[in-house]
């Protein structure tokens, strides 16, 4: 553990607990999850400030916060989720592992707010989750998915799974490729330590699913964009 880990345990966890209780009642008043999204964005920005994370964002001109997208990004650290919720300024729902939805209070609150839980592997329940995500897109809200399915240990891009891109095709929303650089150094995988540092977020122009013949083509193009930005901006 280090000082920031202690901040997480003794400061952020109590704030999160009371925030979840507040959010529980907010979700009863506003079952759309839109109000919760604003609370989550505030909580995310608090995380960023509390842990001394500086963020350099490029490509804000490439998207409109008033529209909705399927946001896809690489995944290298636990900080990725608050980073995206706190900086993109979108009315966004996340696709999360089913196990997270079973966490007492937390799981109930985020499910009520419209976060989509998914089982790992290829099965009917996973397909149902993907269909639910496409319905969220059709409702005019954004959805975020990590196409790698798990965190990278060293920040390098892992192979994409095509499920996210089926969601984009069924939901009819543009795909917004986002590259996150440096988050694996902030919250390393299999470590309790939290480090301060700088993270770069690169937002590429959106891709229209209708311009691709298959989900695989859309997936491969998205993967190349993120991989190219990882290479380009990691060396700058």
- The number of beta carbons lying within 10 Å of the beta carbon of residue 64 is 11
Q: For the chain, give me the number of helices (H) and strands (E)?
A: 9, 7
**Cα–Cα distance between 195 and 78 in angstroms, integer?**
12
Report pTM. Answer: 0.93
Beta bridge partners of 180: 201
Write down the pLDDT at residue 150.
86
Q: SS3 for 61-120, per residue?
A: HHCCCCCCCEEEECCCCCCHHHHHHHHHCCCEEEEEEHHHHHCCCHHHHHHHCCCEEECC
Q: Domain 3-234: which CATH class?
A: alpha beta
**Cα–Cα distance between 106 and 191 in angstroms, integer?**
22
Query: Is 181:234 a contact under the CB 8 Å cutoff?
Result: yes
pLDDT in tens, 9-47: 888 899 999 999 999 999 999 999 999 999 999 999 999
How many Å from the N-terminal Cα to the C-terminal Cα in the chain?
Answer: 31
Write down the pLDDT at residue 121.
63
Query: Angle 73-204-122 (CA atoms, 0-180°, nearest 5)?
Result: 30
Write down the pLDDT at residue 122.
59
Write down the pLDDT at residue 92.
97
Report residues of the chain scoring pLDDT below 50. none
Write down the pLDDT at residue 128.
84
Write down the pLDDT at residue 10.
84
Q: How many CA atoms lie within 13 Å of 113's alpha carbon, on the beta-carbon side? A: 29
């Amino acid at each position: 553990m280090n000082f920031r880990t202690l901040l997480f345990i003794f400061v952020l966890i109590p704030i999160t607990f009371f925030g979840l209780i507040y959010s529980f009642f907010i979700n009863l008043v506003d079952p759309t999850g839109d109000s919760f999204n604003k609370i989550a964005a505030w909580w995310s920005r608090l995380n960023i400030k509390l842990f001394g994370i500086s963020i350099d964002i490029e490509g804000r001109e490439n998207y409109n916060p008033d529209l909705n997208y399927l946001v896809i990004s690489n995944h290298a650290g636990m900080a990725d989720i608050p980073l995206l919720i706190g900086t993109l300024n979108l009315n966004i729902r996340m696709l999360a592992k089913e196990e997270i939805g079973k966490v007492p209070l937390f799981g109930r609150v985020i499910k009520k707010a419209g976060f989509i839980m998914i089982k790992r592997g290829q099965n009917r329940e996973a397909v149902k989750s993907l269909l639910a995500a496409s319905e969220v897109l059709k409702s005019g809200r954004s959805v975020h998915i990590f196409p790698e399915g798990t965190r990278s240990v060293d920040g390098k891009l892992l192979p994409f799974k095509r499920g996210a891109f089926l969601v984009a095709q069924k939901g009819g929303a543009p795909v917004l490729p986002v590259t996150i650089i440096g988050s694996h150094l902030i919250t390393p995988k299999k470590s309790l330590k939290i480090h301060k540092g700088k993270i770069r977020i690169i937002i590429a122009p959106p891709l229209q699913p209708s311009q691709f013949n298959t989900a695989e083509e859309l997936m491969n193009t998205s993967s190349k964009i993120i991989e190219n930005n990882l290479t380009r901006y990691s060396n700058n």
